[in-house]
Amino acid sequence: MTRATAVLFVLALFASAPFLTADQPYLLHLLVLSCVLVIPAIGLNLMLGYAGLVSLGHMGFAGVGGYVAAVLMVDTGLNFWAALVAGSLAAGAAGALIGLICFRFRGHFFMIVTLAFGLMLHAVMNNWDEVTRGAAGFPGIPRPTPLNWGDTVISFGPMRHFYWLALALSVLMLGLQHLIVRSDLGRTLSAIRQDERLASARGVNVLAFKTLIFAIGSAVAGLGGVLHVSFLRVAAPSTFTMLESINTVLIVIIGGAGSQAGPVLGALLYVGLPEILRLANEWRLVIFGAMLVLITLYAPSGLAGLLRAATRRLRRNPNGGTRP
3-state secondary structure of 230: helix
Predicted confidence at residue 21, as pLDDT, reads 84
Tell me the average pLDDT of the chain: 88
Predicted confidence at residue 320, as pLDDT, reads 52
Predicted confidence at residue 315, as pLDDT, reads 74
3-state secondary structure of 139: strand
Domain locations along the chain: 35-241
- Rounded CA gap, 63 and 48, in Å? 19
pLDDT bracket for residue 280 (50, 70, 90): low
pTM of the model: 0.91
CA 282, distance to chain mean position in Å, is 21
Average of per-residue pLDDT across 51-68: 94
- Rounded CA gap, 250 and 247, in Å? 5
pLDDT bracket for residue 48 (50, 70, 90): very high
Predicted confidence at residue 322, as pLDDT, reads 46
pLDDT bracket for residue 318 (50, 70, 90): low
Average of per-residue pLDDT across 96-114: 90
pLDDT at 149 > cutoff 80: no
- Among 14-18, 76-80, 151-155, 248-252, the minimum mean pLDDT is found in 151-155
CA distances from 87 to 23, 61, 192, 232 (A): 35, 10, 29, 16
pLDDT tens for 296-309 read 788 778 888 888 88
pLDDT bracket for residue 282 (50, 70, 90): low
Do the bridges between strand 152-154 and strand 147-149 make them parallel or antiparallel, or are there none, so unpaired? antiparallel
Backbone Cα Rg of the chain = 20
- Rounded CA gap, 249 and 44, in Å? 7
Share of the chain above pLDDT 90, in %: 61
pLDDT bracket for residue 47 (50, 70, 90): very high
Predicted confidence at residue 154, as pLDDT, reads 80
Side chain identity, residue 108: H
How many CA atoms are closer than 13 Å to the CA of 297, on its beta-carbon side? 6
User: Are residues 267 and 252 in contact, defined by beta-carbon separation less than 8 angstroms?
Assistant: no
Average of per-residue pLDDT across 148-172: 87
Side chain identity, residue 143: R
Q: Which positions ≥6 away from 135 have C-beta within 8 Å? A: 126, 127, 237
pLDDT at 323 > cutoff 70: no
